[in-house]
Structure formats: C-alpha cells, structure tokens
Amino acid sequence: MQLNEPYLIIDIDGEKVIFFVVLFNEKKNFKVLKKIILETTGIQNGRVINIETFSQLLKQTINSIEDDINFFFSNVAIVINPNKINCLNVSGYKKLNGSQITNDDIGYILNDIKKIILESENNDYLVHLFNSNFSLDSDNLENLPIGLFGEFYNQNMTFFLVNKNIIKNIKSVFNNCGLNIEKIILKTFAEGINLLSNNQSDKNFTIIRLQKNRISVSLFKNKSYVFTESFNFGFNLIIRDISKLCSLKIEEVENLMKKIELKNVIKNNNETYLENSFFYVSPYRKIKYQLILDIITARIEELFEICYKKNTNIKNLKNSDTIYIYVDSSEYYKNIQYVLENGKYTSLECIFNSNIEQNFLGGVNGACELIGKGWEKEAIPISHKKKSIISDFFSRLFS
C-alpha cells in the first residue's frame, strides 16, 4: 500500500462482488474513490465456481475502473466469506521461574504452535492469527507483558484457516487478471473491525448475519476475533415452513414477505386475513396474518437456539449479551427485527441496522481500516532463520 495512491480492494461474498478503490492519506485514513457492486454466476457462497466467468467479470470491471481514474493496478487486497472456516483456539505457555518475559519468548511460543497447527491442518491455509489473551501468574493482561517478571506465562491464540483449494481458485482468477494478492481478509473479521473502529461497539460483542441459505455467528472478545461458525440454512427454512403450513407456493410466500410488514398489520387487528391478491397460484383460503407471524417467530427462535443460545461451541467464549444482527435481505428485515425484539430474546441487546447496503459494505470498510492501520490483536509470526556460528558471531558483533 502506497500513501496517496489508489488502492484496490475486492470483496467476494455470496453471489456479489464489491470493487472498492480507496486513497490512504498520511494519517492512514481512507477516502473512497470508486465503489461498484455487481452480481455474477462465477461465484457461489463466497467461493469461485467458474474461473472463466469470474475472471472475465474482474478484467472488464478493473479495466473500466483503470480507464476512469487513469491508474493501473498491479496489487489487490481481497475480502472473502467462505461457508466453512476452520477456527482453532490454542494455548501456549512458558515457565519463567522468576525470569523476565522477552520478545523471543513470545515469538517462540507463537511460531512453535503455528508450525504444529499447519502440519496437522495441512489441507488448510492460514488467513488470520490472533493473540486473544495473555496471563501472567493467573492475572489476565490487556497487552503483551514484555519485560515483566513472573513464574508462569500463558498465551491464548486463535487461528482462522480456510481450505487451500478455495484460496488456490481465487489466486488462479486474480493471476488471470495480472493482479498480485497482497492480503486476504475474512469478511467476518473486517465487519468487527468496522464496528470497533467507528466506536459502534465495546470490546466484547457478537455478530449474527442472517442470509437466505446461511447463518454465521462471529464472536469478538477484548477486541480480538475469537470464534466464527457458519450454518448452511437461513431464511429458506422460514419460507418452506410458511409454504408447507399454509399450502402456499414458494414464490407466493416470497412475494408475501416482500410486501407485508406484520407489525403494522397485526397491531391493528390480529384477526386480519391475507388478501386475495397473494393467492395468484394457489386457491384462496382464509389464512390469518397472526399465523404467518407465529410461524416466523417459532422458526427464528429455533434458529437462534441452535446457532447462539444453546451452541456448545461458544459456551465458554460468550461474555457479552450485545448482539449485532445483520439481515442481508431487506424484504425480511422488518419482520425478523419485530420477532427478535418482541420474543423471548428481549434479555439480549439486539442491535439492528436497517441500512442493508451499509451492512453489506461493513466488510470493505473494515478491510480499509485493517490495511491502513493494522490491528493490535492480530499476530504476525516471526520467521527465525538458522545462522552458522560465524554469521551469528558477526551479527552479534555488529548489532
């Protein structure tokens, strides 16, 4: 990244691609020069399924951007959101026996565990590594305790890995476009950075993203990304339930969800029935709006139980009831918000943003913050090269 020079970031998510061109100033703040959101059949669920189609889309769009701003791109940062992310929380430690903690101690722990993880998870590519917690003699610390004396040091780290084939396919596409990938960023991490950098959240929170065929849960603790999990179901279950229980076709249910706001309909009269106009395929029958709300409520509460409330994978990681709800489809947003704010989960602080595009752009905005300023809890492993006795002698002599 060069200051005061256009920088390209591309967000690959679902079946959409976001092209973001920004300019970083001396303070590492960014200004958006260009923003383009496109749909493509070349990606699905955040992964490349057709290299030729996706490559062609990238080439045409990037060439158009380059002509427009009179600048040629050779590098790119990409934001990805694959369905499956391998998340591992690991602890490393060192017995100090009253000695002082040094940079070398911490570097050794980090690189040693990284080596073990990469050897055991050899089908995965390491995308992010975080220092999630530090403790010295059982006292939790906010920052690395370099220079302190103690008896026992413990360091918790979180590894985020993605299947190598997903990364290989993405790299193949960008190689076809003559672009070098400088950085790969997980969208779920970037969304958390976006909240924290804009002071929208404290240091502990959860993001739950609701999509038509997917639900993802991401946890942040002490400003560190500590967990993520995706489920291969979403709004589609609500649609199917309404279709089945009300004997409506799928397309009729989707049209219904787009056009009604249950909160306003039921507030006036919970005995109100669906109008004739919604039955353009199925034969008309009396169906109360209240029944539709009951079905949505039952399914949403069940999904919340599975993904968050009773999810054993996050039982020991949850330390905040603040939940940011991202709903990717505007036609579902208001009804889902109404259910969650008025159901059994009112004890949780569910924070909604009705601006769907702003939610969608949270990933690229967070990526800009990360690229420009870095993130204190993201660890960069240090490569220690072996030296001969002679080279080691001269390096110490002239250091």
Q: Return the residue matching tokens 């090269």.
A: 385
Phi-psi label, residue 363: left if phi above 0, alpha if psi -120 to 50, beta otherwise? alpha
CB atoms within 10 A of CB 112: 12
Query: What is the second-level CATH architecture of the domain 86-163?
Result: 2-Layer Sandwich (3.30)
Along the 399 residues of the chain, how does pLDDT read in single tens digits?
678 899 999 999 877 889 999 999 888 889 999 999 888 888 887 788 888 888 999 999 999 999 999 999 999 999 999 888 999 988 888 898 899 988 888 888 888 888 999 999 999 999 999 888 888 888 888 778 888 999 999 888 899 999 999 999 999 999 999 999 999 999 999 999 988 887 666 778 888 888 888 899 999 988 889 999 999 888 889 889 999 999 999 999 888 888 887 777 776 666 788 888 888 888 888 888 888 888 988 888 888 889 988 888 888 777 776 888 888 776 777 777 777 777 665 556 667 666 656 667 788 889 999 999 888 888 764 444 444 444 444 444 333
Task: Tell me the HSE value of 170 on the side-chain side, using a 13 A CA sphere.
Answer: 28
Report the C-alpha gap between 196 and 173 in whole angstroms.
32
Name 261's Cβ contacts closer than 8 Å, sequence gap at least 6.
334, 335
Report the C-alpha gap between 398 and 375 in whole angstroms.
33
pTM for the model stands at 0.84
Whether domain 209-358 has CATH 3.30.420.40: the reply is: yes
Report the C-alpha gap between 307 and 219 in whole angstroms.
12
Q: Name the DSSP letter for residue 175.
A: H
Residue intervals of the chain classified under CATH 3.30.1490.110 are 86-163
